[in-house]
Amino acid sequence: MFCLSRLADSLRDRFAMTSLSIAKHPFVVATVLDPAMKSMSDFWDELRAAAYDHVRSLVSAANVKSQVDEVQEPPMKRAREDVRSATMSFLARCIEMTQATQTSEFDGYLHAAPTLECELLVWWKKHQEVFPSCAAVA
């Protein structure tokens, strides 16, 4: 009887989504990354928040990996710049990097208008330049 009770509780947690651990389930991640379903209106608020946080961590990991991949490329030779131009270029890159964080990218995706396009891979291919880290996770 005890085993059946634990089994029933486990099934209830898994399929009724009463546990926050379900937020890491691939189905839930896929739901967040589906532009038509990303609002998760049928999910309870705590689960939605946990799922968003989990996907944010995945996007962050994808962003870090892409930055590491970019760093490993050998630097291209370029024309020598004067000190002022080099400083301005450096500052512009620093500002761009701080403004375009992975969290703001994911939040931008969440705030973008939902779409009913059914071909998810096509949608992500079209939007991979706008949401590169999210597309890598998707």
* Interatomic CA distance for residues 60 and 134, integer angstroms: 9
DSSP secondary structure, 74-119, as one string? PPPP-PPPPHHHHHHHHHHHHHHHHHS-HHHHHHHHHHSPP---S-
Check: pTM over 0.75? Answer yes or no. no
Per-residue pLDDT for the chain (138 aa), expressed as one digit of tens each?
Answer: 556 667 666 766 666 666 788 888 888 888 889 888 888 887 888 888 998 999 998 988 887 665 555 555 566 666 666 666 667 666 666 555 444 455 588 888 888 888 876 788 888 888 888 889 899 888
52 phi/psi in degrees, rounded to 5: -60, -45
